[in-house]
Structure 1
Amino acid sequence: MASACRILVQCDWQLALRETDGKAWIALQDLSDTSAKPTLRGQLINCGTSSAGLPYVEGNNGFSVKNISKESLHVCYNDASNQSTTSEMTFQSTTGNFASIHDKKKSVICLDATDGGLGMSSSSDGKFKVWQTDTGEVRRDLVGHIGDVYTCRFFPSGIVALSGGADLRLKVWSIETGKCAATFLGHKGAVLDTAIVERGRNIVSCSRDGTAKLWDCSQQMCLDTFEGMAGNINGISVGVTENSFDLGHPENPPGEKEVLTEGKMLLMACENNTLLSYGLQSRKKIFQYDCSDAVNCCTFLSENIVVCGAQNGKLSIIDLRNYNVPLKEMKTSNSAVESLYSHRGGFFTSAHDGSCHYVNNQYDSFLSLTGPDCDPVYRVVCNSSHVFTACRDGNIRKYRLNIP
């Protein structure tokens, strides 16, 4: 797909094209910062049904269908007047839509899922729930936070969870009992994101108070605070870097409660238009990458490569060995990047306009997950078989994981 364009399709295309003569709109949108070109629109039309029950679909105005199945639609655009202007995209529909886990009038704002068949999510009415990923059946109500839960994630064991929210607290939960096992106090603003170090003896959190904190889980004790950042720290990520990368040296030897922080980098996505990097053990600043807008989220793609997403929709892919110049800057949407999730050297990204894309390890976007009708997708996560998204419309959507 051309980096400055994306193809969009009607959010319920799989239903619209099911009937003979059924129609769905299709469009080509220019994503370049300086473009004043209008969006080019066309139609997809069902011209009959095959013996396998699949529709024959034709497009117009330069759009054509290369392949269609019950869950996917592969569309191409070719400009007859300019052969170099070509784009293509595969659209994937849901395999499940969990509409009853949360109130339809409330936004689902955070989400995680395990390979063991459990999902966890919270909504804007303060409800925090554990459910089965195969059926959407709610198994636990996690009660203890006051107000919204902004971040939740499973520990690697899959039977313990970590959350943080508007009440300034971090909580650890037993998924088997639904009880809060520990509460962490120390932030002076809402907790916006967390990261788990290795198996979870240490965790990291970030907040609207402009700090990130390293914690000991066994005693709910803050081991150190990364501070001095202006404004919110919207997201964090902890990753292992290659051995040749200099993460600095701590001024004092780590205490016995600090476990496996050596060789790890802490990334911080900051409201003041910066991506910050610190040595997790050394507490030393490694670099600052300046973005063109507030940075909403960040994640590691490998030992050397990271990505961050900004409020203006820009994705910056950075090689840590040469962090002064981005490896690539791109957009999959003109709307704010809401979340990032690393997968097979590439990543999923969701946006405020309801779009959700996969960007591969060549940094091309070729897959779009459809379903939301312009409602923000606040979170996208994967387990070994499916992708799950959390949306403002109150739905948790489930997609088959079809990344080669």
Structure 2
Amino acid sequence: MNSTLPPLGWLGIVRLGLVQTALGAVVVLTTAALNRVMVVEHALPATLPGVLVALHYAVQMLRPRLGHGSDQGGRRTPWIIGGMAVLGLGGVLAAVATAWMASSLISGMALAVVAFLLVGGGVGAAGTSLLVLLAARVAPARRPAAASLVWIMMIAGFVLTTAVAGRLLDPYSGPRLVAVSAGVSVLAFLLALVAVVGIEGAPQKAAPAERTPFLPALREVWAEPVARHFTIFVFVSMLAYSAQDLILEPFAGTVFGMTLGETTRLSSVQHGGVLAGMILIAIVGTLTGGRVAVLRGWIIGGCLSAAALLAALAGASIAGTGFPLAESFFVLGLANGAFAAAAIASMMQLVSQGREGRQGVRMGMFGAAQAIAFGAGGLAGTVVLDLGRLLSGSAQGGYVTVFLADAGLFLAAAVLALRIGRGSANERRGTGNVRLLMGRQEA
């Protein structure tokens, strides 16, 4: 990347955010709409789409390797464009495979495996290089706002795609599913292409001495205390974050007797809290200059708040209908959004802390931890719920078990967060600035 270019303004940040919007559009159609078609229209076991989605997360373990490739080439743009092309191809093939399952189940399943592997690989290549490029081209003070904005734009991609595609998919037919998926994939690729072209500047090739093979480069990054600790934190915190996903709506329906429409609206309230938390971090992070120490405080506060809300939900069934369920879901979403946005902003601040030329490997390591945690979190939540039901003999006991276990994960994440960025250059600069300011005040 050309370091002589000025930092991106808000328009440039929005342009990169459009790549995340495009990425989210393909992913949500592949992992949500096709999931429903397999289970409802084709009457297949829910385990099948579950395994396919898990495959899409598992292949993202390659993120460090993909990031290393962009490090060695000195360019992020080709990896973003190439990743979006692979993602779009995977999205189309996944729709073809799903439609094919109606007439040839085995052949459709085999193609679906290939398609979901392509989806995961495309997400890993495009997403990793996008975040590295964003971190490199955005001034440190704007990174918290940029991180929140990019993730909000991804959620906007989810919302827009599901709203439009939902109308176009009715009445369902295999050819219609393939046509809608192909249209979304092509439009997403073109949007990403227009958004990213020309934004990186002239290439800067890595010097011959810097062309280290991948495994030694990965070992170097893992040996960095700041990067290693943050990777572990990302895994634990995102495991806690994703373990709630498949639990909250069924909890409201089973324990409080809510209808499907009521629990869906409750889920919307929670997602509204997530967005509010992200916006809050964007504002606070910008006002405080994006310092890691400030972001760390919000991460800890978000994790502790989420743990407290989950513990409260564990006791909600005892309180009965008087329990403020909607308010609790909103505050839980607020805590999740705040800690997640602060963690993403910290990720962008820390990706350059360490040996130069390893940003892609570092971001890939963070992203791989997040993907593995997301893939395992939903499954872990349902497994603990079923074990809790079995041991307690009641659905209520199962939900108490899973909420308390998830609260424990958030507490562990808060403890790990205490050391985020300790010893990094960003942290040292922040501490030095505070000391300088105090010295001036004393004088």
Normalised TM-score (structure 2): 0.20
Structure ranking higher on relative contact order (CA contacts 8 Å, 6+ apart): 2
Q: When you count helix as a share of all residues, which structure comes out higher?
A: 2
Q: When you count strand as a share of all residues, which structure comes out higher?
A: 1
